[in-house]
Amino acid sequence: MLYAPDCVPDSDFARQLQRFESMQQERRSSRGLARSICLFPPGKITHLVKTGQSKKCLHGCVGCITCGASNAGSEYTPIQKENDDFNEIEISPTLWTDHFPNRVCNELERIAERFGIDTTLGSPPDG
């Protein structure tokens, strides 16, 4: 990224990178058709789609340095998705924080409450 592809100076790193890329290409070639097998997450998938923003951040700031790329305060809507809808990974600035277990748990509890589901621990199941 620092140099045009045809202007990369010779260095230990450049040689190691070239060897690595060559080994990876050999591995890809040796796998043949096996590398085109599609893998998808199993089971039914409920995807949480960001549909709004209830507040700016945890601290009420517009561009909070503390929260960084966090999008705390976002509102989500659950939608059913097919397994093959997840055939690639999209990288976003909030990918990491969006998938923290505590964030996912909190969002699922908020959504459950919107649907009238009791999320308190030890609540008796509806019978």
pLDDT digit string (tens) for the chain, length 127 residues: 577 878 888 988 888 888 988 988 888 788 766 656 677 778 888 888 888 776 555 555 555 555 555 556 778 888 888 888 877 777 888 888 888 898 889 888 988 898 888 888 765 666 5
Looking at residue 34, its pLDDT comes to: 61
Looking at residue 82, its pLDDT comes to: 87
Looking at residue 65, its pLDDT comes to: 52
Looking at residue 92, its pLDDT comes to: 81
Residues facing residue 35 across a β-bridge: none
Which residue has 């509890």 as its token pair?
A: 109
Looking at residue 3, its pLDDT comes to: 78
Residues facing residue 77 across a β-bridge: 49
Looking at residue 123, its pLDDT comes to: 56
User: Computed from CA positions of residues 17, 23, 26, 28, in that sequence, does the dihedral angle turn out positive or negative?
Assistant: negative
Q: Which residues contact 16 (CB under 8 A, 6 or more apart)?
A: none
